[in-house]
Structure 1
């Protein structure tokens, strides 16, 4: 049985995986989630957050090798964690995530997409240390296929996102097995760009779900099956 370590995306926290974890556990696997520095219950000053700090927090949370799952911007932290400690990671799974390209930051990759669906929802703080998501637009971007009450709850959990980690490039890709789960109704990272990021990946390394950017809330059972099938 696998041990899954789940890493959230921008403005989210470990809370976003709450509906998924029981499905993985019911199938006999272990699963847990952590808050990255300055997210969720973590009190790190956003001004101190770097991509390496994200990666180091992930590595510190691992005792025995894990299947490391990264959602959205967490494609970068999980990749960097695997660069730091490849022996601690049995597989990387990118869930509608940025699959890094050497020399490119998350922000640069976002700009590579033909469309920018998140652009009108981003609110940059006056000090430019963080950005937030306009709460009036968060549901349409992240949770449009989620139960309305659950979506409203999720919007209320969103917090500020440190900018510096997203402006930091990856300089190498780890030699660790990987898999990508595309979300074909994603209104945050365009599905066409998810396909572009995985061009050249072997067919068995890519699967897809007919969901929004947040299958952990809209289709947790289906996501659990997809994660298990990716092992």
Structure 2
């Protein structure tokens, strides 16, 4: 069985994997989730958060046997970790996530998408260092197919997202390329356009490209199916 490390996306935390972890454990896997800097219980002040500090949080929690799953923006810190220490993990799995292009920031990647989904949904902080999702947009953006109890649970835990790490270019080399990778595309995603996910998933082998009929938050809407896909991917890595 495998050891999974779960890395959350923008404004989220380790809490978002609440329903997926027991599904993976029921299959005999080990599953852990961490808070990236300034999220969840991590006390890092927003001005101090960088792409490197997010990368280092991933590396600190990984071992050479770890399969790292990155959701959404989480695709960037897991990729940075692979670039820095490819021997520190077994593989990467991108879940509705950004797969970086050499030298591009996540902000640049988002702007290159086929259409923009979050521009009118986010509010920048007064100091310009972070953003939050407008309360009226949270459900439609993240959780439109989730059970009713998910919205209050998540809404109480969403936190500001530091901008600097997402606006930092990530140079990539053969070190990143050598790490095995898989992609899970959400077909009803309103945050990262599903057609853009399909484009990014082309960077992984065809037999390691999967789809799930879900919103951006498959860990809440379809945790069992997501666990089944992760289990199947693990068998191929």
Which category describes the TM-score, using the shorter chain as reference length? over 0.9
Equivalent residue number for residue 193 of structure 2: 190
- Summarize deviations over 1:128-163 as a string: whole Å, max 9, x none: 110111111101000000011112211221000000
Equivalent residue number for residue 132 of structure 1: 132
Distance 2:62 2:90 in 1: 11
The secondary structure found in structure 1 opposite 2:136 is: coil
2:212 is aligned, of 198, 209, 212, to 209
Query: Structure 1: 5+ residue runs without aligned partners?
Result: none
Equivalent residue number for residue 82 of structure 1: 82
Larger mean CA deviation between 66-75 and 128-137 belongs to: 128-137
1:225 is aligned, of 220, 223, 228, to 228
- Given the superposition, is the C-alpha separation of residues 202 and 61 from structure 1 closer, same or farther in structure 2, using an over 3 Å criterion? closer
The secondary structure found in structure 2 opposite 1:23 is: helix
Give the superposition deviation at 1:64: 4.8
Normalization by structure 1: what TM-score? 0.97
1:176 is aligned, of 172, 176, 179, to 179
Note the aligned Cα RMSD (angstroms). 1.0
Q: Is the contact made by 1:139 and 1:152 (CA closer than 8 Å) also made in structure 2?
A: no
Query: Structure 2: 5+ residue runs without aligned partners?
Result: none
Give the superposition deviation at 1:195: 1.0
- Which contiguous aligned blocks of 4+ residues in structure 1 show a shift greater than 2 angstroms? 62-65, 198-202
The secondary structure found in structure 2 opposite 1:69 is: strand
- Summarize deviations over 1:179-230 as a string: whole Å, max 9, x none: 0000000000000111111235331121000000000000000000111111
Distance 1:87 1:55 in 2: 14
Give the superposition deviation at 1:62: 2.3
The secondary structure found in structure 2 opposite 1:207 is: strand
Normalization by structure 2: what TM-score? 0.95
Equivalent residue number for residue 157 of structure 1: 157
Q: Is the contact made by 2:186 and 2:215 (CA closer than 8 Å) also made in structure 1?
A: yes
